[in-house]
Amino acid sequence: MKYLIAFILLSVQAFSNDLAYNRGEILYFSKACSSCHGASAEGSSTYPRLANRKEKFLTEKLQKFKAGKADSVSQQMMAQFAQKLSTEDISDLAHYLSQHERIEVEDVNNDLLGVDY
């Protein structure tokens, strides 16, 4: 019986993670994050890579931006985007980005768009 309960709990957790991933993906594109950070969240020479970063790190950064705090002038632009996010939005975005499929990028520092010429 306890194995059945454990299985059910794990199944519910996996399903909720899938929902968070899907909501995060929708938010990433609907909030235009991809226009700066790239369609695959790979970043560029100007904007940081977000794919496969630690979920806790991404959550803390977005919470700081939402509160209007930034470590640099270039990060201050994120406040206007993050202020519109709910706590659940931040959680979903961080989950999506942290679980993003690994991207093979040789060198995104060569060009603003991440294209190696």
Averaged over successive runs of 10 residues, the pLDDT of the chain (117 residues) comes to 51 60 92 91 90 94 92 86 94 93 51 45
Look at the alpha carbons of 19, 16, 31, 49 in this order and tell me if their dihedral is positive or negative.
negative
How confident is the model at residue 92, as a pLDDT? Answer: 95
Name the amino acid, one letter, at 117: Y
Domain range annotation of the chain:
2-98
How confident is the model at residue 17, as a pLDDT? Answer: 59
How confident is the model at residue 18, as a pLDDT? Answer: 82
How confident is the model at residue 111, as a pLDDT? Answer: 47
Grouping H, G, I as helix, E, B as strand and the rest as coil, residue 32 is coil
Q: What is the CATH number assigned to the segment(s) 2-98?
A: 1.10.760.10
How confident is the model at residue 117, as a pLDDT? Answer: 37
How confident is the model at residue 100, as a pLDDT? Answer: 83
